[in-house]
């Protein structure tokens, strides 16, 4: 299902008001302005799919110069580059995470969507966006966690792998699963060919799942307006 920008706006407003029969109250207004940040480090094809689906991407945050940054700029979306220069054992993960939190703070986003983001972030991002960080992973979690999921699935000789959209937690690739889809491994597959077929599925499954979360996300944890609605 695609959500074009115009349609998204109506969709959100309708969802906000569906139980209130067009009775806007000041307390509900921030939910109408729901928007997301996308975190990326790679070519950005997943980011592009999120933008093309009309999701309300307010900012794209990257940790290096990458294709995703160009895609965001072409779409007129603000880019925050918090550069990771240390990939060694001395990497100050907590300080880096604090910089990411600070870079995003001014955008007022309701949700973070990681789309091929190459840095594992520390506790402060989870405190800033509790239960509101999503990730797409190129394997059927809990199988093949981590950065080399596609190579490992291929090396394991399993007949199928796939992708998983899940809520990111401090423990990597271990959060609650929101959606999964299988992708068969074909005879003679290479890691690149298999990853591209997985990404083709991610480009459909991730936007659809985020749209669903944002809709129900009018009841996201940590949003005081939504928490209030849930208690009504």
Close Cβ partners of 115 (under 8 Å, ≥ 6 residues apart): 38, 39, 40, 44, 46, 47, 50, 68, 136, 206
Q: Which of 126, 137, 166, 195 is catalytic?
A: 137
Element (H, E) at 113: strand 111-114
Interaction mask 110-129, ligand GRF, x per CB under 6 A: -----xx-------------
d(CA 10, CA 229) in angstroms, rounded, equals 20
User: Residues 39 to 68: which contact ligand GRF by CB under 6 A?
Assistant: 42-47
Size of site (CB under 6 A) for ligand GRF: 13
Taking the complex as a whole, the smallest distance from the CB of residue 136 to ligand GRF amounts, in Å, to: 4
Q: Which of 138, 175, 207, 217 binds ligand GRF (CB under 6 A)?
A: 138
CB of residue 37 to ligand GRF, shortest distance in Å:
15
- Coil, helix or strand at residue 137: strand
Q: Which of 58, 60, 82, 137 binds ligand GRF (CB under 6 A)?
A: 137
- Rounded to a whole number of angstroms, the minimum distance from the CB of residue 13 to ligand GRF is 30
Nearest to 110 by CA among 20, 10, 12, 22: 12
Q: Is 10 a catalytic residue?
A: no
Smallest distance from ligand GRF to CB 61, Å: 14
Q: What's the rounded Cα separation, in Å, for the pair 58 and 95?
A: 24
> Rounded distance, CA 17 to CA 204, Å?
28
Q: Which residues bind ligand GRF (CB under 6 A)?
A: 42-47, 115-116, 136-138, 199, 202
Catalytic residues: 137
């Amino acid at each position: 299902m695609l959500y074009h920008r115009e349609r998204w706006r109506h969709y959100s407003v309708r969802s906000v008001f569906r139980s209130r029969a067009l009775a806007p109250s000041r307390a509900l207004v921030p939910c109408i302005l729901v928007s997301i940040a996308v975190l990326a480090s790679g070519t950005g094809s997943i980011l592009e799919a999120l933008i093309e689906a009309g999701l309300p991407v307010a900012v794209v945050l990257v940790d290096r110069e990458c294709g995703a940054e160009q895609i965001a700029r072409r779409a007129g979306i603000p880019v925050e580059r918090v550069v990771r220069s240390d990939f060694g054992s001395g990497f100050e993960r907590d300080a880096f995470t604090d910089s990411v939190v600070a870079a995003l703070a001014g955008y007022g986003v309701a949700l973070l969507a990681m789309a091929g983001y190459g840095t594992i972030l520390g506790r402060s991002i989870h405190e800033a966006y509790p239960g509101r960080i999503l990730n797409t992973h190129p394997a059927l979690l809990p199988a093949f966690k981590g950065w080399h999921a596609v190579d490992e699935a291929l090396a394991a000789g399993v007949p199928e792998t796939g992708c998983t959209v899940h809520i990111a937690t401090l423990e990597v690739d271990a959060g609650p699963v929101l959606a999964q889809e299988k992708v068969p491994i074909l005879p003679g597959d290479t890691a690149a060919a298999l990853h591209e077929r997985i990404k083709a599925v991610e480009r459909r499954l991730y936007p659809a799942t985020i749209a669903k979360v944002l809709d129900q996300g009018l009841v996201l944890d940590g949003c005081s307006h939504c928490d209030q609605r849930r208690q009504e």
